[in-house]
Amino acid sequence: MITNHMYRIIDNRYLTDSTFLLRMERKDFVFSAGQYIIVGRKDSLQHREYSIYSGEQDDYLEILIREIPEGDISPQLKTCSRGQYLEVRGPFGFMKLDKDKIPDQKFVLIASGTGIAPFHSFVTSNPEMDYTLLHGVKYRSEAYDHSHYIPERYVLCTSREKNGEYQGYVTGYLDEMVIDPTAIYYVCGNSSMIYDVYNILGKKGISSKNIFSEVYF
């Protein structure tokens, strides 16, 4: 059910100088991991879509935000503090997991930057799922909450330094890795990365029917 209500902020946690997690009260908000909400300050006409970061069982609602200094929304949200209210609309989106497939299916999750948000919700909501998570960032400091993932299943790809598991773009790692033809692939991030992922997987014989994506920017 789509709602449009005011939600109180209960925490604002900084992960880097420009990236932060806004945690709000959940009330009776119902969503499926992978969906997004539209968020804005109650005194603003500006709103933006953010994938839900928290899990389906959590008693709070959380979104991952990277500040864009020239943006209309993220600078406003960065200054929010506990006790303030945000307008929340949603949930929206169809990039969800088929719950019936989780016990026996392998999943490959491919993200760039804060596009990891829906996959954090996937894994938090379904800790039993068999996943490999590829996360492309510039610097290791952008490996947001990496300790929340099983180390053997999390591959950090850093394009500006060499202290990740792979030095280069996440698409470079994907191009070199052995592809599981039986896996289902989920992709979230910037549009050029998603386009490249479809191209790489297509060349490796993966049908577009087994690829699901969410364009983050």
Predicted local confidence at residue 215, as pLDDT: 74
Percent of the chain with pLDDT over 90: 89
- CATH no. of 99-215: 3.40.50.80
Domain ranges of the chain: 3-92, 99-215
* Model pLDDT for residues 57-83, shown as the tens digit of each residue: 999 999 999 999 998 899 999 999 999
CA-CA distance, 187 to 118, in Å (whole number)? 10
With beta carbons less than 8 A apart as the criterion, state whether 187 and 197 touch: yes
Give the confidence band of 216 by pLDDT, cuts at 50, 70, 90.
low
3-state secondary structure the chain: CCEEEEEEEEEEEECCCCEEEEEEECCCCCCCCCCEEEEEECCCCCCEEEEECCCCCCCEEEEEEECCCCCCCHHHHHCCCCCCEEEEEEEECCCCCCHHHCCCCEEEEEEEHHHHHHHHHHHHHCCCCEEEEEEEECCHHHCCCHHHCCHHHEEEEECCCCCCCEECCHHHHHHHCCCCCCCEEEEEECHHHHHHHHHHHHHCCCCHHHEEEEECC
192-205 average pLDDT score? 97
3 pLDDT above the threshold of 80: no
107 pLDDT above the threshold of 90: yes
Average pLDDT over the chain, rounded to whole? 94
What residues have CB less than 8 Å from 192, skipping those under 6 apart?
none
Percent of the chain with pLDDT over 70: 97
CATH class label, 3-92:
mainly beta
Domains 3-92 and 99-215 belong to one CATH topology: no
Predicted local confidence at residue 45, as pLDDT: 81
* Model pLDDT for residues 136-178, shown as the tens digit of each residue: 999 999 999 999 999 999 999 999 998 889 999 999 999 999 9
**Nearest-5° angle of CA 109, CA 7, CA 24?**
45
Q: Is the pTM of this model over 0.85?
A: yes
2 pLDDT above the threshold of 90: no
176-200 average pLDDT score? 96
* Model pLDDT for residues 114-131, shown as the tens digit of each residue: 999 999 999 999 999 999
The residue count for the chain: 217
